[in-house]
Amino acid sequence: MKFKHFCEKISSLSDFENELDAIFKGDFKITRHFVDRIRERHINPEEIVATLKKFIDRYSDSLASNKKKEVAGVVQDLITNLNIPVNWDNRGTPSPKDDVVHLITVMKKKGFVPNNPNDKVFKIKEGINDPNLFKAVIVAGGPGSGKSFIVDKTFGGTGARIVNSDEFTEHLLQKNNLPMVFQRSDTDVGQKQTEIRYKAKELATNKALNFFNGMLPVIIDGTGAKYDKIMDQKKALEEFGYDVSMLFVNTPLEVALDRNQKRKRTVDPELVKQMWEAVQNNLGKFQQAFGKNFAIVDNDKILTDKKDIHDLNLRLGKISRQFIEKPLQNYIGRKIINTLQRKKGKLVSDLGDINIKDFKV
């Protein structure tokens, strides 16, 4: 829709909301200020829709599964310098189809910086030319280590997709009216919970394969208790074309036990202890296996001092740049990107069948 047609056709907020709902098959809410800005600044609505499409394609899955129900941020198209402040409400469900997207305003400004430093910045670039393609980070840390908090702080706004079976586990437990507290597997309830856990891992694996097809940056959120499983994931990803790094979230046992008891979906304390010990025993081997692509973050307390928070943000920002934003090293991945650029393809499947062996969540 050109600007002239927009002015002729859109006479109310609901008109524009309905247009966006129809285009994206979603639920959009816009402010009067958003529409006024389009008219006053003569911003091309087609450009807005194109930017929103890239934003939704790249970030919707990670926002839908975000632990925070609402995420505020700014969509920044680095090609057109279009900036769209948004508020994403995932309604507490893992499906993007249930979400509500609030569009606050829109402006064209190069190098725009949000007023609120806590707002996420969702950077949009042309797909196949995005420097973050073919980047994977495996996150290690037992139950109660605070991995979700560290992952959100480190990789929020990078476009990295989260691969985690927990979101499916919780959704399936609720759907089947089963308790969030896992019971012994030799009980009827425990057996059903175990079956759901395996189903959740299968669903998470299928979701990951779709991400791999798009060469998207991914965060594999696990525990690291099984060293061989992590090595199998690392090998499969590297053979597919990914640069693979590890972020190890380190937490004392007593802190992990305390956090576990406060979670909605708790794990038996004895199992927490066993997994914590297994992860700690693998620490040295992970450092050796990942080398310079390994980082460890201590997450043993809630930070209140501004300097401590600032220092943590600087540290996590450095990890993000090192693992996600640095140039791709993997020869296989670079070759695939070059071939797709030459053939004007967008997905690995455009070159034939996807073949990523032995990857399981």
Output the pLDDT for position 281. Answer: 95
Beta strands 82-89; 70-77: pairing state? antiparallel
2 burial (CB, 10 Å; 0-12 / 13-18 / 19+) is exposed
Q: Are 120 and 156 in contact (CB under 8 A)?
A: yes
Residues 295 and 227 grouped into a single domain: yes
pLDDT for the residue numbered 133: 92
Domain span at 46: 3-125
Report helix, strand or coil for 185: coil
Q: Which of 84, 103, 125 is the last residue of a domain?
A: 125
- The pTM for the full model equals 0.70
Nearest to 78 by CA among 132, 16, 1: 132
Do 250 and 181 reside in the same domain of the chain? yes
Domain assignment present for 142: yes
User: Three-class SS of residue 267?
Assistant: coil
* Domain termination site, one of 101, 125, 149: 125
State how far the Cα of 55 lies from the Cα of 224, in Å rounded to an integer.
Answer: 31
Looking at this protein, which amino acid is placed at residue 262?
K
Residue 59 CA to residue 280 CA, distance in Å, equals 33
* Residue 157 resides in a domain: yes
Are residues 184 and 268 both part of a single domain? yes
Residue 152 lies in a domain: yes
- Domains: count for the chain: 2
CA dist., res. 254 & res. 251, Å (int): 8
Considering the domain architecture, whether residues 207 and 304 belong to the same structural domain is answered as yes
Query: What does DSSP assign to residue 291?
Result: G
Q: How many other β-carbons are positioned within 10 Å of the β-carbon of residue 263?
A: 12
Give the 3-state secondary structure of residue 240. Answer: helix
Q: 211 lies in a domain?
A: yes
**Within this chain, do residues 119 and 139 fall inside the same structural domain, yes or no?**
no
Q: Which residues of the chain have pLDDT under 50?
A: 1-5
Closest CA to 122 of 53, 38, 183: 53
157 in the same domain as 51:
no
* Domain annotation covers residue 359: no
Copy the structure tokens of residue 142.
């037992």
Whether 281 is covered by a domain: the verdict is yes
Q: Are residues 41 and 120 in the same domain?
A: yes
Q: Do 50 and 85 fall within a single domain? A: yes
Token digits for 224? 């690291």
The answer to whether the beta carbons of residues 202 and 168 sit under 8 Å apart is no
Sign of the torsion formed by the C-alpha atoms of 30, 34, 39 and 45: negative
AA identity, residue 244: V
Question: What Cα–Cα distance (Å) separates residue 54 from each residue in 47, 121, 124?
Answer: 11, 14, 7
Please indicate, yes or no, if residue 360 is contained in any of the structural domains.
no
Q: Are residues 222 and 182 in the same domain?
A: yes
Residue showing tokens 């064209």: 108
User: What CATH number is given to the structural domain containing 247?
Assistant: 3.40.50.300
**For tokens 């080398």, what's the residue?**
291
Same domain, 206 and 335: yes
User: Does some domain include residue 45?
Assistant: yes
Res 1: pLDDT: 45
Residues 195 and 221 in one domain: yes
Domain match, 116 and 149 both: no
Last residue of a domain, one of 78, 97, 125: 125
Which residues does residue 98 pair with via DSSP β-bridges, in sequence order? none
